[in-house]
Amino acid sequence: MANLILASSSPRRKELLGQLGLSFDIFSPDVDESVLAGESAAVYVERLARVKAQAVQLRFPEALIVAADTSLGVDGRILGKPESKQHAFEIWAQISGRKHDVFSGVCVRTKEQICSIVVRTQVEFQTLSLHDMEDYWATGEPLGKAGAYAIQGIAARYIPRIEGSYSNVVGLPLHETAQLLMRFKMKI
């Protein structure tokens, strides 16, 4: 294993971290991603990032670990990945025609040091018709995506504006991740 390990199986996070020009390996930890009672989206994503980083650190104690988690927050509720077509439509009904928050928790750690942050980006979604939802579901893109959409894909046509980090919405806020890595003397 390389000195740097990305604790994720997400192809989007792999691609994003690669944009920093770093060499790294990937190891996806198996962790419980259940939401705790009363947990906000911001607290949830930071907790999961820290849990993922710790799980990988136990396996590779000499490595520098980067872990992240991303979720949507609307009206104090966490919107995760769609479990079915009906669930995706329910998610879209909640974000249609309004703004929502995308939160990513990022944790960078060694066995001696842990740093984590939460990054928030506000995303505006146009009003979606039932036809829009049917068409988008048919693409297959919503599967496995927080909020049932991929801003870097077809869903971009439904998003007139964002406030904050684009890469955060994709799944890994690059500027903030680079800043954390530099705290660990990583050359970026």
**Which CATH number belongs to the domain containing residue 70 in this structure?**
3.90.950.10
Catalytic residue among 25, 30, 32, 69: 69
Task: Give residue 1's pLDDT band: very low, low, confident or very high (50, 70, 90).
Answer: very low
For residue 69, which of 162, 168, 182, 180 has the smallest C-alpha distance? Answer: 168
Q: What's the pLDDT at 122?
A: 98
Three-class SS state of 58: helix
111-135 confidence digits (pLDDT tens): 999 999 999 999 999 999 999 999 9
SS3 content of the chain, % helix, strand, coil (to 5): 35, 25, 40
Could you confirm whether 69 is annotated as catalytic?
Answer: yes
CA 9 to CA 18: how far, in whole Å? 14
For residue 118, which of 1, 40, 18 has the smallest C-alpha distance? Answer: 40
For residue 18, which of 29, 30, 33, 8 has the smallest C-alpha distance? Answer: 8
Task: Give residue 188's pLDDT band: very low, low, confident or very high (50, 70, 90).
Answer: confident
User: Is residue 22 in a domain?
Assistant: yes
Report how many domains make up the chain.
1
User: Is residue 188 in a domain?
Assistant: no
User: Is residue 79 in a domain?
Assistant: yes
Instruction: Please tell me the pTM assigned to this model.
Output: 0.93
153-181 confidence digits (pLDDT tens): 999 999 999 999 999 999 999 999 999 99
